[in-house]
Protein backbone atom coordinates (compact mmCIF):
# COMPACT_ATOMS: atom_id res chain seq x y z
CA UNK A 1 0.00 0.00 0.00
CA UNK A 2 1.14 3.53 -0.73
CA UNK A 3 0.46 6.84 0.99
CA UNK A 4 -2.18 7.53 -1.63
CA UNK A 5 -3.99 4.31 -0.71
CA UNK A 6 -3.95 4.98 3.02
CA UNK A 7 -4.58 8.71 3.28
CA UNK A 8 -7.54 11.01 2.75
CA UNK A 9 -7.67 14.73 3.63
CA UNK A 10 -9.36 13.95 6.96
CA UNK A 11 -6.44 11.82 8.19
CA UNK A 12 -3.78 14.45 7.58
CA UNK A 13 -2.76 16.77 10.44
CA UNK A 14 -1.03 19.83 8.94
CA UNK A 15 -0.03 21.43 12.26
CA UNK A 16 1.22 18.98 14.88
CA UNK A 17 1.76 20.55 18.29
CA UNK A 18 3.80 17.77 19.94
CA UNK A 19 7.50 18.50 20.41
CA UNK A 20 8.79 14.93 20.80
CA UNK A 21 8.02 11.52 19.34
CA UNK A 22 5.87 10.43 22.30
CA UNK A 23 3.63 13.51 22.15
CA UNK A 24 3.36 13.23 18.35
CA UNK A 25 2.37 9.56 18.54
CA UNK A 26 -0.34 10.39 21.10
CA UNK A 27 -1.58 13.25 18.91
CA UNK A 28 -1.72 11.11 15.78
CA UNK A 29 -3.47 8.20 17.51
CA UNK A 30 -6.02 10.68 18.90
CA UNK A 31 -6.58 11.92 15.36
CA UNK A 32 -7.17 8.36 14.12
CA UNK A 33 -9.94 8.09 16.73
CA UNK A 34 -11.42 11.48 15.76
CA UNK A 35 -11.54 10.62 12.06
CA UNK A 36 -13.05 7.19 12.75
CA UNK A 37 -10.12 5.02 11.63
CA UNK A 38 -9.82 3.32 15.03
CA UNK A 39 -12.43 2.69 17.72
CA UNK A 40 -12.23 4.95 20.80
CA UNK A 41 -12.05 1.94 23.12
CA UNK A 42 -8.91 0.76 21.28
CA UNK A 43 -7.07 4.09 21.53
CA UNK A 44 -4.88 3.29 24.55
CA UNK A 45 -3.98 -0.22 23.39
CA UNK A 46 -3.00 1.07 19.95
CA UNK A 47 -0.93 3.93 21.38
CA UNK A 48 0.83 1.40 23.62
CA UNK A 49 1.72 -0.98 20.77
CA UNK A 50 3.09 1.90 18.64
CA UNK A 51 5.16 3.18 21.58
CA UNK A 52 6.44 -0.32 22.34
CA UNK A 53 7.66 -0.62 18.74
CA UNK A 54 9.19 2.86 18.95
CA UNK A 55 11.10 1.93 22.12
CA UNK A 56 12.91 -0.85 20.27
CA UNK A 57 14.35 1.70 17.82
CA UNK A 58 13.35 5.18 16.75
CA UNK A 59 11.42 5.35 13.50
CA UNK A 60 13.00 8.74 12.78
CA UNK A 61 14.75 7.62 9.60
CA UNK A 62 16.43 10.92 8.70
CA UNK A 63 15.62 13.71 6.25
CA UNK A 64 12.94 15.01 8.65
CA UNK A 65 10.88 11.80 8.37
CA UNK A 66 9.34 9.68 11.11
CA UNK A 67 7.37 6.51 10.37
CA UNK A 68 5.99 5.07 13.61
CA UNK A 69 4.20 1.81 12.87
CA UNK A 70 2.91 -1.37 14.47
CA UNK A 71 0.81 -4.47 13.94
CA UNK A 72 -2.38 -4.97 15.93
CA UNK A 73 -5.40 -7.24 15.91
CA UNK A 74 -7.62 -4.22 16.73
CA UNK A 75 -7.98 -3.18 13.06
CA UNK A 76 -9.22 -4.98 9.96
CA UNK A 77 -7.18 -3.13 7.31
CA UNK A 78 -4.17 -0.82 7.08
CA UNK A 79 -4.87 2.59 8.62
CA UNK A 80 -2.66 5.63 8.89
CA UNK A 81 -2.37 9.32 9.56
CA UNK A 82 0.15 11.86 8.27
CA UNK A 83 1.24 14.73 10.46
CA UNK A 84 3.36 17.78 9.75
CA UNK A 85 5.33 19.63 12.40
CA UNK A 86 6.21 23.15 11.32
CA UNK A 87 8.84 23.55 14.06
CA UNK A 88 10.01 19.95 13.95
CA UNK A 89 9.74 17.32 16.68
CA UNK A 90 12.52 15.47 18.47
CA UNK A 91 12.23 11.89 17.25
CA UNK A 92 15.73 10.80 18.21
CA UNK A 93 16.19 10.35 14.47
CA UNK A 94 19.14 8.53 12.94
CA UNK A 95 20.56 11.84 11.68
CA UNK A 96 19.76 13.69 14.96
CA UNK A 97 17.64 16.20 13.05
CA UNK A 98 14.09 17.23 13.98
CA UNK A 99 11.26 15.42 12.22
CA UNK A 100 8.76 17.49 10.25
CA UNK A 101 6.76 14.74 8.51
CA UNK A 102 5.37 11.84 10.51
CA UNK A 103 3.46 8.97 8.91
CA UNK A 104 1.97 6.69 11.56
CA UNK A 105 0.46 3.51 10.19
CA UNK A 106 -1.01 0.30 11.55
CA UNK A 107 -1.27 -3.09 9.87
CA UNK A 108 -3.51 -5.95 10.98
CA UNK A 109 -1.70 -8.56 13.07
CA UNK A 110 -0.24 -11.41 11.05
CA UNK A 111 0.17 -9.47 7.79
CA UNK A 112 3.95 -9.29 7.92
CA UNK A 113 4.51 -8.97 4.16
CA UNK A 114 1.93 -6.20 3.86
CA UNK A 115 3.59 -4.45 6.80
CA UNK A 116 7.04 -4.60 5.19
CA UNK A 117 5.81 -3.53 1.75
CA UNK A 118 3.79 -0.64 3.19
CA UNK A 119 6.75 0.57 5.24
CA UNK A 120 9.07 0.32 2.24
CA UNK A 121 6.65 2.17 -0.07
CA UNK A 122 6.11 4.98 2.43
CA UNK A 123 9.84 5.36 3.14
CA UNK A 124 10.68 5.36 -0.57
CA UNK A 125 8.06 7.98 -1.33
CA UNK A 126 8.99 10.26 1.58
CA UNK A 127 12.67 10.10 0.67
CA UNK A 128 11.86 12.14 -2.45
CA UNK A 129 13.10 15.63 -1.65
CA UNK A 130 10.61 17.36 -3.96
CA UNK A 131 7.69 15.54 -2.31
CA UNK A 132 8.87 16.48 1.19
CA UNK A 133 9.30 20.11 0.15
CA UNK A 134 5.83 20.18 -1.42
CA UNK A 135 4.27 18.67 1.73
CA UNK A 136 6.16 21.07 4.00
CA UNK A 137 4.92 24.12 2.06
CA UNK A 138 1.34 23.01 1.34
CA UNK A 139 -1.12 25.39 3.06
CA UNK A 140 -3.50 22.78 4.49
CA UNK A 141 -4.52 19.11 4.64
CA UNK A 142 -6.37 19.23 1.32
CA UNK A 143 -3.30 20.61 -0.45
CA UNK A 144 -1.07 18.03 1.26
CA UNK A 145 -3.42 15.28 0.07
CA UNK A 146 -3.29 16.64 -3.50
CA UNK A 147 0.52 16.48 -3.37
CA UNK A 148 0.40 12.87 -2.13
CA UNK A 149 -2.05 11.85 -4.87
CA UNK A 150 0.11 13.51 -7.52
CA UNK A 151 3.19 11.61 -6.35
CA UNK A 152 1.49 8.28 -5.55
CA UNK A 153 1.43 7.12 -9.14
CA UNK A 154 5.12 7.85 -9.66
CA UNK A 155 7.86 5.32 -8.90
CATH code of residue 118: 3.40.930.10
Instruction: State the total domains in the chain.
Output: 1
* Residue 46: pLDDT over 70: yes
Q: What pLDDT does 80 receive?
A: 95
Model confidence, pTM? 0.94
**Rounded Cα distance, 59 and 77, in Å:** 21
Average pLDDT over residues 90-110: 94
**Is the model more confident about 79 or about 112?**
79
Q: How many CB atoms lie within 10 A of CB 139?
A: 8
Phi first, then psi: give them for residue 26, nearest 5 degrees: -60, -45
* Residue-number span of the structural domain to which 23 is assigned: 3-152
pLDDT band at residue 112, thresholds of 50, 70 and 90?
confident
Q: Which residue out of 69, 115, 117, 127 is catalytically annotated? A: 69
User: Any idea how long the chain is?
Assistant: 155
Average pLDDT over residues 72-100: 95
Contact 152, 3 (CB under 8 A): yes
Q: Annotated catalytic, 31?
A: no
Residue range 53-71, pLDDT digits in tens: 999 988 999 999 999 999 9
pLDDT value for 154: 59
Amino acid sequence: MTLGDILQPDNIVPNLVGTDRWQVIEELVDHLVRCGRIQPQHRDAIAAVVKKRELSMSTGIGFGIGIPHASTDLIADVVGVLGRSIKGADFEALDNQPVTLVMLFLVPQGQFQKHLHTLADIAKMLHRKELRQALETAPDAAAMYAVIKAYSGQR
